[in-house]
Structures are given as structure tokens and as C-alpha cells.
């Protein structure tokens, strides 16, 4: 099975928990919404982020008031273009000071019309296993 066939029909979204300097939020016009009531992320570095929201998350902890602990929630994406959007978004928030600590996590939500068919579930498990190191690296966790 080719890589594109493996991704065919799979939709996903990500939730990125991180700390970001409050000054960077203000400088970029980023307004944090309440938990499960995120606010639209404005343009960062000149690029619009349609469908990306940011919300507070009380499960995240930082030792400094100067850093806001937030969760960025992405839109439903698909295919290689969607994976590139996630990579670009991570680079954008990192460029304005986003960092993770041991209270942060990365949530990946996956949907597929055949997800609960045995063959599709096997493919998903193999795909995850094949890219496990990259998934850990995105989160900043040790391998």
C-alpha cells in the first residue's frame, strides 16, 4: 500500500498544549478563550490560521506568571496538506516563544469511515508504530 493510499480518507485534528509568553500573546493580538470555548487565532508572522483556536487549560502548569499555559486546537485536516499545516503552525507558535514542559501534551484526534474495520485499524496501528519517534519528537518528549 502506498503512503497516499494509507492516508486516504483519514481526517485528523490536533490539540497542542504549551506555554507562551504573555507579552507574545499581547504583541500578536492572541486572545485566549475559556476552556472548551476557544478564540480564533489571528495571523501569526503574516499567515492566517483559519479554524485554529486557543483556550485556557487549568491542567497545565508553569512556574512563571509571565508565561500563559494554553491549548491550541486545530481544525479538521486531511492528507499531506493537513500534516504540513500542523508543521507550519507549530513553527509559527514556536517562533513567538511557545514551549512545552512536563505538564503539556499533544492530542491527536483521528477519524476514518472504516476506522473500526479490522484491516483499517491494523493499518492505523502500523502507521502509528512506523512514525512513533516523530510523534514523540513533535511533543518534545524524550524517545
Q: For 85-135, write each residue's pLDDT tens digit.
A: 999 999 999 999 999 999 998 899 988 777 677 887 788 788 888 888 877
Residues composing the chain = 143
Other beta carbons within 10 Å of 10: 20
Instruction: Check: pTM over 0.75? Answer yes or no.
Output: yes
Q: How far apart are CA 134 and CA 74, in angstroms?
A: 19
Q: For 56-78, write each residue's pLDDT tens digit.
A: 999 999 888 899 999 999 999 99
Instruction: Specify burial of residue 61 (Cβ count, 10 A radius: 0-12, 13-18, 19+).
Output: exposed
Amino acid at each position: 500500500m502506498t503512503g497516499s493510499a494509507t492516508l486516504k480518507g483519514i481526517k485528523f485534528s490536533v490539540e497542542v498544549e504549551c506555554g507562551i509568553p504573555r507579552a507574545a500573546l499581547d504583541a500578536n493580538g492572541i486572545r485566549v478563550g475559556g476552556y472548551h470555548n476557544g478564540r480564533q487565532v489571528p495571523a501569526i508572522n503574516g499567515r492566517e490560521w483559519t479554524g485554529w483556536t486557543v483556550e485556557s487549560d487549568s491542567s497545565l502548569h508553569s512556574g512563571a506568571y509571565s508565561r500563559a499555559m494554553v491549548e491550541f486546537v486545530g481544525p479538521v485536516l486531511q492528507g499531506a496538506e493537513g500534516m504540513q499545516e500542523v508543521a507550519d503552525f507549530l513553527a509559527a507558535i514556536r517562533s513567538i516563544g511557545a514551549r512545552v514542559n512536563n505538564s503539556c501534551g499533544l492530542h491527536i484526534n483521528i477519524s476514518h469511515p472504516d476506522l473500526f474495520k479490522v484491516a483499517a485499524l491494523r493499518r492505523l496501528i502500523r502507521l502509528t508504530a512506523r512514525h512513533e519517534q516523530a510523534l514523540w519528537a513533535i511533543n518534545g518528549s524524550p524517545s
